[in-house]
Structure 1
Amino acid sequence: MFPAFLDLSSLKAAYASGLSPLDLVDEVLARIAASDDPAIFITKTPADDLRAAALDLLARAPEANSLPLWGVPFAVKDNIDVAGLPTTAACPAFAYRPERDATVVARLKAAGALVIGKTNLDQFATGLNGTRSPHGAPRSVFDKDYVSGGSSSGSAVSVASGLASFALGTDTAGSGRVPAAFNNLVGIKPTPGLVPNVGVVPACRSIDVVTVFAGTVGDGVAVRKVIDGYDAADPFSKKAYPVRLPASGLRIGVLAGTEREFYGNAAYEALYDAAIERAKALGAEIVAFDYGPFREAAELLYNGPWVAERLAAVKDFIVSNPADFDPTVRTIISGAAKYSAVDAFEGLYKLEALRQKTLVEWEKLDVLMLPTSPTTCTVEAMLADPIARNGHFGRYTNFANLFGYAAIAIPAGFDAEGHLPAGVTLFGPAFSDDALAAFADALHRALARGMGRDRHAGLPEPSRISADDDGLVPIVVVGAHLTGMPLNHELTRAGGKFVKACRTAGDYRLFVLPNASPPKPGLIRSPGLDGRGLAVEVWKLPPGAFGRFVQNIPAPLGIGKVVLDDGSQISGFLCEPYALEGALEITELGGWQAYIQGRR
């Protein structure tokens, strides 16, 4: 009845056939109890609490699959707040119990997902291997002698083991990608700033990213679209603008010459070469490029002043509780004290000089494809040489967030003995996240390596991502930009195309904004409301016009994800709730045009 891997498509089909979230909860609890890796979780959601969450879901959304992630179980890295569960960052003395969810967790819960627990990690998210925790080292699901990858170790293993449909991690240096490679998963690393970090214990606050582990690119992107979106409470949050990539003939940069370094792992090098050939067969143009400036930037992350940002995150705690740190983590973070403000500025100057050099390479490329990790190792070998071997894992990951890139890691196959998996990562410019996903999905399907521990599973067809051939970006409009309304010309003059008239999901409310000229509505979501939805329209705009359009939206309006009555999510107009205090509510009229007609 239950698939080995709890992908979104399989779960939705099971729910449509009558499965209850309570049944799923019991299955997940049984799987956790039977797990052969006791180091996956730091805190498990108590069984009664998990069942209560399923009952609450049924009360507010009784219809199966009526929310985007209805009844979907997920795990959360234990440096991300979940109300009611302690946040420890793998340091018991640091633990606190948050009163509210991190923004990303709140958005997932609102979409119907169920938190099954908080997962293990390299302490304070400092490491790429998964061994730096007082709670033990999660292991590769394919060989318990080998590392799981880190720092999001437990998150990756929970998904690969079939305990969760997806899991949240974080990524500063590669922590949302390396564990994906070592456990045959997809790792979605958004553009820094696309997903808010409110409620996340920082590692390097200026470049940290919340990530998603999933079985397919489609599943990972579906989750990312729930959690992304601007949040003013995060000082590094950004309002995204879509960046397109060529629909065909993608130019992919690959390693060549002396920049190829696999630390003697011939099997991983062979898998990288096989992925290049698969990409070529999919129509990509393969281009050798100079990895040198990217490598130099990667070295800045741990051998430059950015280590001081890790110290800034725990500066008081490391003074009061030095003995509570993992020895390797303490060595790394304490070493930051040698850097001065002058060093920080000089590091920034060097990074920007390297960025200029990378722009020369980007002129001949659309995306990069690199080994996610050039090698792996046993837990024993990692503990014997923790800093050098960890550095090997980050050779092709550390630069990504410093340069602000989007990245998607996918499985690349198993070594000649069919023993251990490897992966490759596709990198694109900032906010190319959606454009990058189509080719990443196609390449994952061409490589056909299953999902997590189930290496022979076929990738579900409903999760397939198709390239948007018209290159236009969809947007939901609710008020003055509707057909026949006074601002509709802003869409048509920008080359916008009408797609359809439809309705929102039933939990939206509509208000009249006071003192707006021309009159404008304010749309907000009210989880738990069981309404009939509001009349809206979907339009499409050219990417450049979309960016300018979003930039000119006046406060208190903004762009967020609007859920439609078919469950799809499209960027659209939303209003900040503070502006609606005392405003006239017109939800019962069913839409803005009905209100305007009534006034006339």
Structure 2
Amino acid sequence: MTSFAPTAAEASRLVGSGERTVAELVEDSLDRAAASQPKLNAFTLLDRTHALTIARTQASDRPLSGATFAVKDLIDQEGLPNTCGGSFEPVFPTADAPVVARLIAAGAVPTGRTGLHEYAFGFDSENHWFGPVRNPWDTSLSVGGSSGGSAAAVAAGVCSFALGTDTGGSVRVPAALCGIFGLKVTHGRVPISGVYPLATSLDTVGPLARTVADIESIYRVIAGPDASDPWTVDRPIEEPVPAPPLDTITLGVPRPWVDDSRVTADVAQGWHAALDALAHAGVTLVDIVAPSLAPTNTGTPSGYWEVADVHRARLLATPEKYGPNVRDRLARTLTATGADYLTALSQRRRLGDEFERVLDTVDALLTPATGVIRKSIGSSEVTLSSGETVHYRAPIARFSAMVNEVGLPGFTLPANVLGTSPPMAIQLVGPPWSERR
């Protein structure tokens, strides 16, 4: 057993050449997961029998043959408990969610269910019921959330890739804090049926992986409409576009969305180093002044109203079944009114128009992935480069939540320009349906 799982591309090559069998690669992944669990607490469930049963049925000539993946514990897997990271009795689904079924059909094997911020409603994965997920780079640090276990499992090399969900940054934030790649797809591109909802008009499912090539191949498998999901759009999957020369690319830096004073000092330092590296490589960087593209204009009540709709009955009947942090946040969502929701939807449309305007002038928008890269487990405060001490939630989600509000694709990638651990990360935001660009 190697210390790191092969990437999806490597696994497919190993199985296709006959060097390894699917079952052998799955056994290795299960062993790595079990060995890592005391240190990282990335998993809520490891079911060796379930994984090996699937492995023994897999052919060697499928796109993802031999690739192992982890599944966020609010995405359905047939016969396995779906806890959503909460304390209520888990549901035992009778079928896989479409995204899981598509990956298995492509040859991949799910090896475990990963920890998360309770009900995906938060950004630190310090779960009251299951304990905190720990960062492979430094176990005193948060992995972010809410797909924290998925990010930790991939960053630690336990599996080839993982599935997460992203409603306000829950794929991109943990990918950034764990130094890996994470894709938030255009809303409606990947089915969300079989996924416990947070806010369905914002919810997406996306991959976390160690290479861009794996992200692309996983996206190709999971994208596309499904009859069980009215949110999905029947639109052809775009063909891959060859990487253009760097000196033909123009990226827009939106101001005041990007503001050094609202991020921590290490993020600001890494951000400017990344800009310098991109400019040196020939990328054209353009400042875009767009005052309406600011986190204060994200239309948060739209999401809060939907979250309240999901949890209201159980929260009012049995509040003690929620962890204190999530219970307090959920209680605040109950104040969102129908009028708030309609106002927020109108605001969301105006915000979408502004994004469309600025994206017409550049190839993509470029921002830091998060305003925080190092948050200590157990601490809720971070210090910004301005010297102000604030709750971590606003800076950590500063660059992610607004992308969900307008349904655009966002891609987080590590930018290890300063050699820090974990590395600072950047985000690219593109027009709708431009994932493979």
Provide TM-score, normalisation by structure 2: 0.91
Which is worse superposed, 229-238 or 259-268?
Answer: 259-268
Change in CA separation of 1:295 and 1:258 when aligned onto 2, cut-off 3 Å: closer
1:431 aligned residue? 433
SS at structure 2 position matched to 1:167: strand
Which is worse superposed, 402-411 or 263-272?
Answer: 263-272
Shift of 1:382: 2.3
Shift of 1:369: 0.9
CA displacement, residues 245-273 of structure 1 (integer Å, 9 cap, x when unaligned): 99452220125568413546322222212
Contact 1:75 1:155 in 2 (8 A): yes
2:163 aligned residue? 168
Matched to 2:230, the amino acid is: P
Matched to 1:37, the amino acid is: K
Change in CA separation of 1:102 and 1:22 when aligned onto 2, cut-off 3 Å: same
- Alignment of 1:253 with 2:252, yes or no, is yes
1:2 aligned residue? 2
Change in CA separation of 1:390 and 1:243 when aligned onto 2, cut-off 3 Å: farther
Q: Distance in 1 between matches of 2:232 and 2:19?
A: 40
What is the correspondence of 1:510-529 to structure 2 with a 5 Å cutoff?
A: none
- Alignment of 1:327 with 2:328, yes or no, is no
1:268 aligned residue? 267
- Alignment of 1:109 with 2:111, yes or no, is no
CA displacement, residues 163-210 of structure 1 (integer Å, 9 cap, x when unaligned): 110000000000110111111100011111000011000111111000
- Alignment of 1:408 with 2:407, yes or no, is no
Q: Distance in 1 between matches of 2:390 and 2:332?
A: 13
- Alignment of 1:344 with 2:341, yes or no, is yes
- Alignment of 1:143 with 2:138, yes or no, is yes
Change in CA separation of 1:244 and 1:69 when aligned onto 2, cut-off 3 Å: closer
What is the correspondence of 1:172-251 to structure 2 with a 5 Å cutoff?
A: 172-240=167-235, 242=238, 247=244, 249-251=248-250
Matched to 1:166, the amino acid is: F
CA displacement, residues 452-474 of structure 1 (integer Å, 9 cap, x when unaligned): xxxxxxxxxxxxxxxxxxxxxxx
Q: Distance in 2 between matches of 1:124 and 1:3?
A: 31
Change in CA separation of 1:266 and 1:297 when aligned onto 2, cut-off 3 Å: closer
Q: Distance in 1 between matches of 2:57 and 2:147?
A: 29
Q: Distance in 2 between matches of 1:434 and 1:111?
A: 19
Q: Distance in 2 between matches of 1:373 and 1:105?
A: 28
CA displacement, residues 290-335 of structure 1 (integer Å, 9 cap, x when unaligned): 353222466422xx24201111122322233211112121122221
CA displacement, residues 208-255 of structure 1 (integer Å, 9 cap, x when unaligned): 000100011110110111111111321211123549999452220125
Larger radius of gyration: 1
Contact 2:356 2:431 in 1 (8 A): no
Contact 1:253 1:289 in 2 (8 A): yes
Contact 2:305 2:338 in 1 (8 A): no
SS at structure 2 position matched to 1:424: strand
- In percent, how many aligned pairs have the same letter? 28
Q: Distance in 2 between matches of 1:111 and 1:297?
A: 42
Shift of 1:351: 2.2
Unaligned runs of 5+ in 1: 436-600
SS at structure 1 position matched to 2:316: helix
What is the correspondence of 1:487-498 to structure 2 with a 5 Å cutoff?
A: none
Q: 1:121 aligns with which of 106, 116, 123?
A: 116
SS at structure 2 position matched to 1:145: strand
Q: Distance in 1 between matches of 2:217 and 2:122?
A: 27
1:44 aligned residue? 46
Which is worse superposed, 311-320 or 257-266?
Answer: 257-266
Q: Distance in 2 between matches of 1:191 and 1:200?
A: 17
SS at structure 1 position matched to 2:341: helix
Shift of 1:352: 2.2
Contact 2:73 2:116 in 1 (8 A): yes
Matched to 1:330, the amino acid is: R
Shift of 1:367: 0.6
Q: Distance in 1 between matches of 2:257 and 2:316?
A: 43
Contact 1:31 1:163 in 2 (8 A): yes
- Alignment of 1:86 with 2:92, yes or no, is no
Shift of 1:156: 0.5
Shift of 1:33: 2.2
2:386 aligned residue? none
CA displacement, residues 437-492 of structure 1 (integer Å, 9 cap, x when unaligned): xxxxxxxxxxxxxxxxxxxxxxxxxxxxxxxxxxxxxxxxxxxxxxxxxxxxxxxx
Q: Distance in 2 between matches of 1:226 and 1:157?
A: 23
Contact 1:194 1:230 in 2 (8 A): yes
Contact 1:262 1:374 in 2 (8 A): no
Unaligned runs of 5+ in 2: 384-388
Matched to 1:67, the amino acid is: R
1:381 aligned residue? 379
Change in CA separation of 1:3 and 1:334 when aligned onto 2, cut-off 3 Å: same
1:478 aligned residue? none
Q: Distance in 2 between matches of 1:402 and 1:388?
A: 22
Matched to 2:299, the amino acid is: L
Change in CA separation of 1:19 and 1:243 when aligned onto 2, cut-off 3 Å: closer
SS at structure 2 position matched to 1:289: strand
Contact 1:267 1:415 in 2 (8 A): no
Contact 2:293 2:351 in 1 (8 A): yes
Shift of 1:395: 0.5
Contact 2:83 2:91 in 1 (8 A): yes
Which structure would you say has the larger RCO, counting Cα contacts within 8 Å and 6 or more residues apart?
A: 2
CA displacement, residues 519-566 of structure 1 (integer Å, 9 cap, x when unaligned): xxxxxxxxxxxxxxxxxxxxxxxxxxxxxxxxxxxxxxxxxxxxxxxx
Q: Distance in 1 between matches of 2:56 and 2:409?
A: 37
Change in CA separation of 1:104 and 1:264 when aligned onto 2, cut-off 3 Å: closer
Q: Distance in 2 between matches of 1:88 and 1:298?
A: 33
2:19 aligned residue? 18
1:391 aligned residue? 394
Q: Distance in 1 between matches of 2:219 and 2:50?
A: 25
Count of aligned pairs between the two proteins: 425
Q: Distance in 2 between matches of 1:259 and 1:56?
A: 49
Q: Distance in 2 between matches of 1:21 and 1:126?
A: 35
Q: Distance in 1 between matches of 2:70 and 2:297?
A: 29
Change in CA separation of 1:223 and 1:398 when aligned onto 2, cut-off 3 Å: same
Change in CA separation of 1:345 and 1:73 when aligned onto 2, cut-off 3 Å: same
2:31 aligned residue? 30
SS at structure 2 position matched to 1:13: helix
Q: Distance in 1 between matches of 2:381 and 2:91?
A: 29
